[in-house]
Chains A and B, each alone.
Chain A
Amino acid sequence: MLDARIPDGPIAEKWDNHKFSVKLVNPANKRKFDIIVVGTGLAGASAAASLAELGYNVKAFTFHDSPRRAHSIAAQGGINAAKNYRNDGDSVYRLFYDTVKGGDYRSREANVYRLAQVSVDIIDQCAAQGVPFAREYGGLLANRSFGGAQVSRTFYARGQTGQQLLLGAYQALAAQVRAGKVTLYNRSDMLDVVIKDGHACGIVTRDLLTGEVHAHSAHAVVLATGGYGNVYYLSTNAMACNVTAAWRAHRKGALFANPCYTQIHPTCIPVSDEFQSKLTLMSESLRNDGRIWVPRQLDDARSAADIPESERYYYLEEKYPSFGNLVPRDVASRNAKTVVDEGRGVGPLKNGVYLDFAAAIARDGVEAVRERYGNLFDMYERITGEDPYSLPMRIYPATHYTMGGLWVDYNLMTTVPGLYCLGEANFSDHGANRLGASALMQGLADGYFVLPYTIGDHLAPKLGDAPVPTTDPVFAEALAEVDRRTRSWTQVKGTRSVEHYHRELGKIVWEYCGMARNKTGLEKALSEIPALREEFRKNVKVLGSPDGVNQQLEKVNRVDDFMEFAELKVRDALHRAESCGGHFREESQTPEGEALRDDENFSYVAAWEWRGPDADPVLHKEHLNFENVQLTQRSYK
């Protein structure tokens, strides 16, 4: 069932060979095809703009008021590319190798190699668009080392790289809107994919201003709808990020791959009170100069300044002398959880660890530190009311990125013909853990440089076929169902808010399927989630009308999908009895407490098939063949 359609040949030639072998649509014929793109973040906006430039008719959808609001905008650190501008030994092969290794050998080699190849084109493309990347005095592009990489391959625009790359893609999209090649539907929430004869032929959306549902048809549907991190309720994702588009596609036949893989980012600001609904990330670059520690003594009530050097436990530096504070994200996060669980947590709620800049300030001076991290320090002070120049920051891990997503083949097509999935919403490139500065790279690779080539393979044979008309019964049925489902929530008339149930779901998923997982806990979650879902469906309170702006109603559909998705996520985590990357099963660890893979039994992508609300999902396996990379146990000692 799962044919990844990986091209033959040596890894360095696969993409070139494939580009030659895929079918092309003649330039004059491209205008005869309609393509729907859902989501206007980095992947969606870049895809929509590029497809329109080629001549396709594009309909782009976002639930925001403008494409520029997508959460890609919040990425701080940078974007990797194998340019080797620093002459430090980087290459396409090294970026490929680092990404496969960093993903703990759970990604597909061919896709990752292609990602590394096109990374260099992305920088050229974005520079041509006017993205204001950081420059050296000579006018050439600046780079930095990021997230423990041994080469400087990260390009950046101050601490706002995601913002600048998204604005570049948004502007390219705006030019195509102006040119009439893209029709932009804002405040339109995609609530279903429509399938006819096994092929994706359109979507159903709800207008968030009027509440009306609309059908849209096309020759192909592209989902670029982001990750599922908000299943944890608290995450660094924006409030509206959700799994709905991917989940609705899953229910219509698209397999969902590796939903247990979630990246927990180590440097976020700890929770301060129970009403908090959102966590804030502090750039990972802080770990370049900050030293992470906790008091050696348990339940130490002293303030940081009163704890002498000898009683500070620099646990990363002690355990990992060669990488120290720069170990990969999953390792840094897990170790923070360990020390906090031991009772060494700091702050009013004892739920953080210190990230201390005293040594850097003593070494380089306060001005040098301000120059490097001033914006981040200001943000920290604004949120916590504490001055990080005089006090160590407090940090704790938070859900940040999701490596799992809809299963796609080498063409980025899901198991539903004509339905594509890009960016964080697909599963393909990061394996079980994503390296820093690679999310922006993947989103733009998919949108600018992969899909525009591969989609022709699906479209070319359809030349002359009109899209399925929206008067077709498949659309009428989907419209009626979306309308019924949405309206039904206001009829429940329960007693607890949507927010309440989302928070409760998040607690379960974080507790049992967060930074560390075990069989007992996961089984407990598998019994608690359906019970919560049932209570939610019977007792949620949604006020107001379905026929106008109603933010509760927008959210209730999303939380309902998270309730179903959470169960699949836990099921996937339970079945994967090994530890790998961000998925840490307590039963599978080395004597030193590091993640222990089981390559013999788990070297595959777990792709789940929906069999209906009352049936267990069915597992399909795509075995991962490593022909170029040597599998090793990651070691950062």
Chain B
Amino acid sequence: MSSTESTDNGSVEQDRALNLKLRIWRQDGPHAEGSFLDVDADQIPTDASFLEMLDMVNERLIEDDIEPITFPHDCREGICGTCGVMINGQAHGPERATATCQLHMRKFRDGDQIVIEPWRAAAFPVLKDLMVDRRAFDRIIEAGGYISAPTGTPQDANEIPVPKEVADTAMDAAACIGCGACVAACPNSAAQLFTSAKLAHLNVLPQGQPERWRRTEAMVETMEDYFGSCTNHGECHEACPKEISLDFIAFMNRDYIKSKSKNRSLASQ
């Protein structure tokens, strides 16, 4: 994961700065025409994060009385899932398993041209510049991405033993941050990786069994209302900052087929 730019011997890096040529997508609103803005980003420290680089560019734009670029961001720790842009055609940029906010400029070289675009997907309309609307993800969760356990006093937590490997698998799936890179990277703008991650998290757990089949059918069909179809390219996994496994998509497909009979009335199954 280290590039030629990073030091391997651990000595303190000398102050180094990059001069970059940026092409950034600008678009006023969902129905406006967009276009690229070419802007030089000079003297960017290699220790800066990608978003700090954009902060610096914005400060310079403001100085020149140009409206700064709108880009989504919040925690800057790679966990909230707010940030995410296409960097030279790659969702979240060149570093594996890394959200945009955790990408650092030492991964680039002096003189690089960097093309920065919003997620491109029909289900994620551009709101402004690099910011898109991902509410379709919330609709999928609302369709069934939960276990109905109204607040109260359920049984003691240790009364439902969960085998460690089941808990670990659930956690692997639940690590999804909902950033949408999977959709952006997919040639079909499919949301199978996102949907299957939540579905698998809940469906493998004993607590998730009572609603398993109803959940599966509702989430998959809501997903299909908004997103394209999966054709097994695997680009979603490659782009995923949390390396969510493609196995969960296979798991979802199996559960979806089963749900079609399981959701019939008991007598007719």
- A164 contacts the other chain (Cβ, under 8 Å)? yes
Q: Complex: how many Å from CA A599 to CA B98?
A: 49
Q: Report the nearest A residue to B97, measured CB to CB.
A: A378
Q: Which residues of A contact B116 (CB under 8 A)?
A: none
Interface string of A57-83 (1 = CB under 8 A from B): 000000011101111011000000001
Q: Complex: how many Å from CA A128 to CA B12?
A: 49
A385 engages B162 (CB within 8 Å): no
A172 engages B146 (CB within 8 Å): yes
- B151 contacts the other chain (Cβ, under 8 Å)? yes
Interface residues on B, range: 35 or more
B68 engages A552 (CB within 8 Å): yes
Q: Report the nearest A residue to B98, measured CB to CB.
A: A382
Interface string of B171-197 (1 = CB under 8 A from A): 100110110000000000000000000
- B73 contacts the other chain (Cβ, under 8 Å)? yes
Interface string of A378-402 (1 = CB under 8 A from B): 0101111111001100000000000
A69 engages B81 (CB within 8 Å): yes
Q: Complex: how many Å from CA A157 to CA B160?
A: 17
> Which of B199-207, B223-231, B245-253, B258-266 lines the interface with chain A?
B199-207
B79 engages A160 (CB within 8 Å): yes
- B106 contacts the other chain (Cβ, under 8 Å)? yes
- A452 contacts the other chain (Cβ, under 8 Å)? yes
Shortest CB-to-CB span from A31 to chain B, Å, is 16
> Which of A243-251, A274-282, A601-609 lines the interface with chain B?
A274-282
- B208 contacts the other chain (Cβ, under 8 Å)? yes
- B112 contacts the other chain (Cβ, under 8 Å)? no
B70 engages A549 (CB within 8 Å): yes
A137 engages B74 (CB within 8 Å): no
- A635 contacts the other chain (Cβ, under 8 Å)? no
Q: Complex: how many Å from CA A66 to CA B209?
A: 27
Interface string of B59-98 (1 = CB under 8 A from A): 1001101111010111111111110000000000001001
Q: Report the nearest A residue to B172, measured CB to CB.
A: A132
A73 engages B163 (CB within 8 Å): no
Known: A175-B146, A275-B55. Is A548-B13 also a contact (CB below 8 A)? no
- A53 contacts the other chain (Cβ, under 8 Å)? yes
Known: A130-B201, A158-B171, A303-B12. Is A124-B151 also a contact (CB below 8 A)? no
Q: Per a CB cutoff under 8 Å, which of A128, A139, A158, A544 touches B149? A: A128
B7 engages A171 (CB within 8 Å): no
B167 engages A132 (CB within 8 Å): yes
B75 engages A71 (CB within 8 Å): yes
A125 engages B149 (CB within 8 Å): yes
Shortest CB-to-CB span from B212 to chain A, Å, is 11
Q: Report the nearest B residue to A184, measured CB to CB.
A: B138
Q: Per a CB cutoff under 8 Å, which of A68, A71, A157, A278 touches B171? A: A157
Known: A53-B151, A127-B207, A548-B28. Is A137-B164 also a contact (CB below 8 A)? yes
Q: Complex: how many Å from CA A158 to CA B147?
A: 21
- B157 contacts the other chain (Cβ, under 8 Å)? yes
B102 engages A385 (CB within 8 Å): no
Q: Which residues of A contact B131 (CB under 8 A)?
A: 549
A132 engages B201 (CB within 8 Å): yes
- A145 contacts the other chain (Cβ, under 8 Å)? no
B146 engages A385 (CB within 8 Å): no
Known: A66-B138, A382-B102. Is A130-B147 also a contact (CB below 8 A)? yes
A387 engages B142 (CB within 8 Å): no
- A557 contacts the other chain (Cβ, under 8 Å)? no
Q: Which residues of B contact A448 (CB under 8 A)?
A: 151
B174 engages A129 (CB within 8 Å): no
A139 engages B163 (CB within 8 Å): yes
Q: Report the nearest A residue to B6, measured CB to CB.
A: A385
B151 engages A348 (CB within 8 Å): no
Q: Per a CB cutoff under 8 Å, which of A64, A209, A278, A543 touches B62? A: A543
Q: Which residues of A contact B40 (CB under 8 A)?
A: none
Other than the known A124-B153, A275-B55, A280-B77, what 9 A-B pairs have Cβ atoms closer than 8 Å?
A66-B178, A83-B157, A132-B167, A186-B135, A381-B2, A383-B49, A385-B6, A390-B10, A500-B59
Leading 8 A-B pairs by shortest Cβ distance? A139-B161, A171-B146, A127-B157, A128-B149, A128-B154, A549-B128, A50-B151, A132-B170
B contacts, CB < 8 Å to A: 1-2, 6-8, 10-13, 15, 28-29, 45-49, 52, 55-56, 59, 62-63, 65-68, 70, 72-82, 95, 98, 102, 104, 106, 127-128, 131, 133-135, 137-138, 141-143, 145-158, 160-164, 167-168, 170-171, 174-175, 177-178, 201-202, 205, 207-208
A contacts, CB < 8 Å to B: 46, 49-50, 53, 64-66, 68-71, 73-74, 83, 85, 121, 123-130, 132-141, 157-158, 160, 163-164, 167, 170-172, 174-175, 177-178, 184, 186, 209, 238-240, 272-273, 275-278, 280-281, 303, 305, 347-348, 379, 381-387, 390-391, 448-449, 452, 497, 499-500, 541, 543-544, 548-549, 551-552
28 contacts between A and B (CB under 8 A): A50-B150, A50-B151, A69-B80, A71-B74, A71-B80, A74-B75, A121-B153, A130-B147, A132-B167, A135-B164, A140-B161, A157-B171, A171-B146, A174-B138, A177-B142, A186-B135, A239-B75, A275-B45, A275-B48, A276-B48, A277-B76, A278-B76, A303-B11, A383-B49, A385-B6, A544-B68, A549-B127, A549-B128
